[in-house]
Amino acid sequence: MQLQPVAKGKITAQRASFLRRSVARLCRICYTFDNTYIKEVLFMSVMDTLVSRRTYRRFAQKAVPQDVVDDIVEAVRLSSCGANRQAVRLVVVNKPEAVAKVQPLVKWAAYLPPEQGTPKADELPTLYVAVVQDTSIPGDLATDTGIALANMTLAAWDKGVGSCIMGAINKPALTELLGIEEPQKLAFMVAFGYPAHKAHIVPLTAETGVKYYLDENRDYCVPKRSKEEIAKYL
C-alpha cells in the first residue's frame, strides 16, 4: 500500500479517519512479526478517536450515507450487554420529512441560551436514531444502553460523522411519532451529521466548572477533570 503525502495544515475528520484505517491495515499486515508493536499502535488509534469524538450540535446540510447508517446499526448489534440479552432496539430516522418532524421535539445544549445552543435552520442534523429499550427483557438496561450509545457514536465518528446524544426530548410525542409500542420504551435520541463547528477539551477548574461554553469562534469548549482527580491507584 502506497501512502499519499499530506499537505501541511490541519487534518479534517475524514482525513484523520482514513489515516486511522490505513494504520490499522498496516498493523494487520505486520501482525505475525511483532505482536507487541501492533497492540501499541492500535491502542493509540483508539485513543485518538476517543479524544476527537465530542458532542456536535451544528451540522453541514449533507446527508449521512447509508454505509455510515449501516455501521451505526452494526455497532449496536455488536455491543456488549449483560448476559447477552440484547435489549436495545433502534429506530432510524433518515428521510427528510421524518427528520423535520423530529426537530421540534428535542432540546439542545442545556447549559447555553437557545440563541447560542440551538442549531439554526441551516445547521440541523440530517439523521436521527431513536435508542429504545425492550423492557420485557430483564437486566440492567441503563448500562446496556450506555454501551450501545458509545459504540454507535464512535462508529459514526470513524467515518467523520458527528453526533449528539439527547436526553432532553419530548418522549410522549416522539413515542407516538416513531410508532414505539409497549413493552418497548424510548430512552434517547441521537442526532448525527457532518460537524459545522469544532469542539475542544479544556481543563476543568474552579472558574470553568463543568459547564461547556462557546469560544470566540462559536466552537465548543468542554471542561474535563484531570486523570489525577478521577483515578485512585493502590
Q: Parse the chain into domains and list their residue ranges.
A: 46-197, 198-233
Digit-coded pLDDT (tens) for 133-162: 999 999 999 999 999 999 999 999 999 999
Q: Write out the H or E segment, with its range, that includes residue 40.
A: helix 35-52
Residue 28 has what pLDDT? 42
Q: Which residues of the chain have pLDDT under 70?
A: 1-44
Domain 46-197 fold is NADH Oxidase (3.40.109)
Whole-number pLDDT of residue 45 = 78
Domain 198-233 has CATH 2.20.180: yes
Helix (H) or strand (E) holding 221: strand 220-224
Residue 68 DSSP label: H
Contacts of 213 (CB under 8 A, 6+ apart): 111, 112, 220, 221
Q: What's the pLDDT score for residue 2? A: 52
Rounded Cα–Cα distance for residues 42 and 47 (Å): 9
- pLDDT per residue over 202-230, tens digit each? 999 999 999 999 999 999 999 999 999 99
Q: Give the pLDDT score at 30.
A: 40
Instruction: Give pLDDT, residue 46.
Output: 87
